[in-house]
Amino acid sequence: MCKRYALQNPHRAFDCCRSALRTALFFGCKFLDSGETRFDFGQTLFGGVLCHAGAGGHFLHGVEFVTADEVEAVEDFVYAGADNGVKLFAGAGHCGKGVTGKACEVVEKAGSVSHDEVPAVLRRVMSGASLGSLSGADYTGRMIIVTGGAGFIGSCLHAALRRRGLRTVVVDRLRDGVKWRNLASHAPDRIITPDALEGFLASEPDVEAVFHMGAISATTARDGDLVWSSNVDLSQTLWRWCAARGVRMIYASSAATYGAADRPEMFRDGLENIDGLRPLNLYGWSKQAFDLWVKREIEAGAPVPPQWAGLKFFNVYGPNEYHKGSMISVVKVKYDEVVQGHAAKLFRSDVPGLADGQQKRDFIWVGDVVNIMLWLFDHPDVSGLFNCGTGVARSYLDLAHAVCDAAKRARDVEFVDMPEKLRGQYQSFTCADMSRLRAAGYDAPFTSLEDGIGQYVREYLSQPHPNL
């Protein structure tokens, strides 16, 4: 669509749209100009509607073009946009009707695209992307910010965003370690350090969404001032910036906010259920503090991002976690033990009546976590605080056996005493209530523990280059 042409010359704008679409080889487009000349390349697949200069148009599935002289009130239509005004075309999920009386097909997706952004769409189509998989942000040159984008979950998300052909800015510190390998196969457009983020935001970058994954995530963290600054202050700054500029924000909360919860009904998400939570450690408390701050902002009627979603990550495992030290997943730790010929070591239970190895967690494959975030990105009308788990609690003994099986080793498990620093801070049961996300429309299945561990071992841990 051509958002850079003034209303005073609507025919010029439509000519621009026609030229852009023909150049980009969008097969199936029909264009009806003022002389009823038809550019018919076959079955209609794509079409577009002009919006006023500076606002962008709509890129739709299964519609036709018409020109200004077919619209009785051109300025009303152009200024109103595609979703209202004279109702030339309806929004996503509705059937539009042209002023000539000809009905259009029901629209499945709508997004903003301008003339100079058409080449980016063409690259996505020519790369083999499914037409149905394209979202509005796929048609634009706007940036996606991923804080913590060189970390575990952040880098896996970043890889998926780059596969979509999106422009990305990673906010992270690579330092002199191995985190750069998490981005080796999918370099971002730009990497900035957290210290430089404030200046970058002040430059008014054109941002579509912020995925805020960055945090001090160690459950054994002790520096309260540093944790608050990183996990709360920075999150508040990003929230306010997104709210002021109409940028969507998806951020990482944590299942650590549930503290000593030990029954399924105690793991309900949503802002209305968080006041009574009592996290067991500093990390969980900092995540709870930000969730509570978000709740207060919303209740006070303060500005909020057009879409916001907090995700309470449960026990995530998968590639690109290798830099996490003591916070690496139990799956990776057990794999290293068994391939070195040792027994898989598990903590003895410190809960009366709970057998050793029967501590249970909701373990979720990182690919499922990424799928949830991409689904939220593709559904900008969905906001809220959501659990991000599978809804199934599995025992550590199940996990150890699955690792042994995937590594093709005998099932050999040894129980050891829990370290003193973890006693009283160890969650012996977690299980995400996923009903809220399901009710919002997310219907993809979750990967089983055995299948996820099998994929992790087979495609990553057993390979010379185990990064995504």
Do residues 57 and 189 share a domain?
no
Same domain, yes or no: 292 and 352: yes
Q: Does 77 score more than 90 pLDDT?
A: no
Please give the average per-residue pLDDT across 34-49, as a whole number.
33
What is the reported pLDDT for 423? 79
Mean per-residue pLDDT, 383-393: 98
In angstroms, the CA 465 to CA 468 distance is 9
Separation between Cα atoms, residue 456 and residue 463, nearest integer Å: 10
**Over residues 439-458, mean pLDDT:** 98
Interhelix angle 118-126/10-23, nearest 10 degrees: 20
Here the tokens at position 398 are 């199940």
Q: Which helix (H) or strand (E) holds 410?
A: none
| Mean pLDDT, residues 152-172 taken together | 97
Is the pLDDT assigned to residue 38 strictly greater than 70? Answer: no
Residue 1 falls inside a structural domain: no
Helix, strand or coil for residue 394? strand
Residues 246 and 331 reside in one and the same domain: yes
Can you give the residue range of the structural domain that contains 368? 142-461
Task: Kindly report the number of other CB atoms within 10 A of residue 54's CB atom.
Answer: 10
CB-based contacts of 438: which residues, under 8 Å, 6+ apart? Answer: none
Task: List, in sequence order, the alpha helices (H) in 340-395.
Answer: 366-378
* 73 and 202 part of one domain: no
Instruction: Quick: pLDDT tens for 234-250.
Output: 999 999 999 999 999 99
The residues annotated as belonging to the active site are 283, 324
Which pLDDT score is estimated for 424?
Answer: 72
In percent, how much of the chain has pLDDT > 70?
Answer: 70
Q: Which of 44-53, 108-117, 148-157, 427-436 has the lowest mean pLDDT?
A: 44-53
Distance CA 445, CA 169 (A): 30
pLDDT score at 261: 93
Question: 159-173, 203-217, 370-384, 414-428 — which is least confidently predicted?
Answer: 414-428
User: Which 3 state secondary structure label does DSSP give 312?
Assistant: strand
Sheet holding 58-61, edge to edge: 46-49, 58-61, 110-111
Is the pLDDT score of 344 beyond 50? Answer: yes
* 62 within some domain: yes
Q: 158 and 104, same structural domain?
A: no
Asked if 250 and 382 count as a contact pair (C-beta separation under 8 A), the reply is no
198 with 343, same domain: the answer is: yes
Task: Burial-class residue 271 by CB neighbours within 10 Å (0-12, 13-18, 19+).
Answer: middle
**Is 233 part of any domain?**
yes
Residues 99 and 159 in one domain: no
Is 270 in the same domain as 171? yes
- The residues that bridge with 65 in the sheet, in sequence order, are 31
Model confidence at 308: pLDDT above 50: yes
The reply to whether 125 falls in a domain is no
- For residue 316, the 8-state DSSP code is E
Helix (H), strand (E) at residue 212: strand 207-212
Look up the CATH number of the domain holding residue 401. Answer: 3.40.50.720
Q: Could you tell me the two tokens for 102?
A: 């000809």
Residue 328 near residue 315, CB atoms below 8 Å: no
Same domain, 191 and 329: yes
- Is residue 467 domain-resident? no
Exposed, middle or buried, 378 (CB in 10 Å: 0-12/13-18/19+)? middle
**3-state DSSP call for residue 253?**
strand
What is the predicted pLDDT for the residue at 372? 98
∠ at Cα 248 (243, 250), nearest 5°?
110
The Cα 68–Cα 13 span in angstroms is: 10
- pLDDT value at 26 more than 90: no
**C-alpha 410 chain-centroid distance:** 38
What is the spatial distance between Cα 63 and Cα 44, in angstroms, rounded to a whole number? 7
Rounded-to-10 torsion of CA 314, 328, 219, 211: -60
pLDDT of residue 141: 67
Max CA separation in the chain (angstroms): 83
* Number of domains, the chain: 2
Q: In the chain, how many H helices and how many E strands?
A: 13, 18
Count the Cβ atoms, other than its own, within 10 Å of residue 35: 8
The pTM for the full model equals: 0.73
Mean pLDDT of the chain: 79
Q: Please report the pLDDT score of residue 121 as a whole number.
A: 47
Q: Provide the pLDDT for residue 196.
A: 96
Q: Give domain status of residue 237, yes or no.
A: yes
292: nearest Cα among 309, 316, 271: 271
Domain boundary among 118, 151, 169: 118
CA 239 – CA 297 distance, rounded (Å): 10
Mean pLDDT, residues 369-378 taken together: 98
pLDDT tens-digit profile of 103-132?
A: 444 434 444 444 444 444 444 444 444 444
Q: Is residue 398 part of a domain?
A: yes
What gap in Å lies between CA 167 and CA 158, rounded to an integer? 10
Mean pLDDT of 25-36: 32
Could you tell me the pLDDT band of residue 176, with boundaries at 50, 70 and 90? confident
Q: What average pLDDT does the segment 385-412 reach?
A: 98
pLDDT at 378: 97
DSSP calls for 384-397: EEEEES-S--EEHH
Residues 94 and 207 grouped into a single domain: no
pLDDT: which is higher, 91 or 337: 337
pLDDT-derived band at 425, boundaries 50, 70, 90: confident
- Given a cut of 60, whether residue 65 has pLDDT beyond it is no
Q: How confident is the model at residue 41 (pLDDT cuts 50, 70, 90)?
A: very low
Residues 99 and 152 in one domain: no
Residue 468 lies in a domain: no
Q: pLDDT > 90: what percent of the chain?
A: 65
Q: Which of 96-100, 309-313, 403-407 has the lowest mean pLDDT?
A: 96-100
Residues 224 and 369 placed together within one structural domain of the fold: yes
